[in-house]
């Protein structure tokens, strides 16, 4: 069945940002992660976040008796999260493009908010700004390749949630739509969940979008 839903949750966090984190970055609220885990998983399920960041998915999984796994390429963020979680061995330092080399168990669900890139930028966050990999098209190809690997560690028919925003701070960049198109080449796009923030909104973002995919790759 296609998914087209409206979800209303408060914009709330349980952890204070570390000193090294840019205060202007848009964060991934605990409340959203909790609601999506309730909707798509059950206790004991294995959940992979390929862009672990500051560990919100990881922390909420532990609180809700899911088994978290995460990959983070930034050493400072990785070490900060690892020092605060219980299942430390499940948090990996490295590039999510190498996910099939990490010898992970079969996952039941994936949830993340990937690094954002507007279409007019050249600096590619998935290559840490390496000029050899400049450009929005290269960024989208990299995301697609990463998710092709993620599908290989997910059980067949597992759901995959990608949270993103169309970017409007300078010009309008159709990031959500472009991610949906690119990732539908490696997964089945089932629809979207529009998330409306009921309170405490940061950065004047009144809503966000969660693309819902299903893994159709035979392991």
Q: What is the pLDDT of residues 161-201, one digit of tens each?
A: 999 998 877 788 899 999 999 999 999 999 999 999 887 66
Q: What pLDDT is attached to residue 219?
A: 45
Confidence of residue 204 (pLDDT cuts 50, 70, 90): low
pLDDT for residue 205 is more than 90 = no
Confidence of residue 136 (pLDDT cuts 50, 70, 90): very high
**DSSP H or E segment with residue 80:** helix 75-82
Mean pLDDT of 62-90: 96
Q: What pLDDT is attached to residue 2?
A: 83
pLDDT for residue 61 is more than 80 = yes
What are the structural domain ranges in the chain?
3-15+26-214
Q: Any residues with CB less than 8 A from the CB of 93 and at least 6 apart, and which?
A: 71, 72, 73, 75, 78
Q: What pLDDT is attached to residue 26?
A: 60
Cα 152 from chain centre: 17
Report the C-alpha gap between 118 and 170 in whole angstroms.
Answer: 9
CA-CA-CA-CA torsion sign (178, 56, 187, 4): negative
Report the C-alpha gap between 76 and 83 in whole angstroms.
Answer: 11
> H helices then E strands: how many in the chain?
5, 8
Span 91-116, pLDDT tens digits: 999 999 999 999 999 999 999 999 99
Q: What pLDDT is attached to residue 24?
A: 53
Question: Percent of the chain at pLDDT above 90?
Answer: 79
Average per-residue pLDDT in the chain?
92
Confidence of residue 49 (pLDDT cuts 50, 70, 90): very high
Confidence of residue 218 (pLDDT cuts 50, 70, 90): low
From 53-57, 122-126, 166-170, the region with the lowest mean pLDDT? 166-170
- Give bridge partners of residue 47 from the DSSP assignment: 68, 109
Report the C-alpha gap between 104 and 89 in whole angstroms.
Answer: 11
CB 69 within 8 A of CB 107: yes
Phi, psi torsion values for 86, nearest 5 degrees: -85, -45
- Minimal CA–CA distance to 34: which of 55, 63, 5? 63
| CATH number of the domain located at residue range(s) 3-15+26-214 in this protein | 3.40.50.150
Return the DSSP state at 43: T
Q: What pLDDT is attached to residue 203?
A: 60
């Amino acid at each position: 069945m296609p998914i087209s839903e409206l979800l209303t949750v408060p914009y709330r966090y349980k952890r204070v940002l570390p000193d090294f984190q840019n205060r202007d970055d848009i964060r991934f609220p605990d409340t959203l992660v909790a609601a999506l885990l309730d909707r798509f998983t059950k206790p004991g399920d294995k959940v992979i976040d390929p862009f672990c960041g500051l560990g919100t998915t990881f922390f909420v999984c532990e609180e809700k008796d899911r088994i978290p796994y995460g990959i983070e390429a930034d050493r400072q963020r990785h070490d900060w999260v690892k020092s605060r979680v219980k299942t430390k061995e499940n948090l990996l330092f490295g590039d999510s493009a190498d996910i099939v080399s990490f010898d992970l168990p079969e996952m039941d669900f994936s949830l993340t908010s990937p690094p954002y890139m507007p279409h007019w930028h050249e600096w590619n966050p998935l290559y840490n700004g390496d000029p050899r990999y400049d450009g929005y098209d290269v960024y989208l190809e990299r995301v697609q390749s990463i998710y092709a690997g993620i599908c290989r560690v997910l059980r067949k028919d597992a759901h995959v949630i990608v949270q993103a925003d169309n970017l409007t701070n300078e010009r309008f960049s159709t990031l959500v739509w472009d991610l949906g198109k690119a990732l539908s080449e490696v997964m089945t796009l089932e629809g979207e969940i529009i998330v409306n923030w009921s309170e405490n909104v940061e950065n004047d973002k009144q809503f966000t979008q969660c693309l819902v995919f299903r893994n159709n790759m035979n392991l």
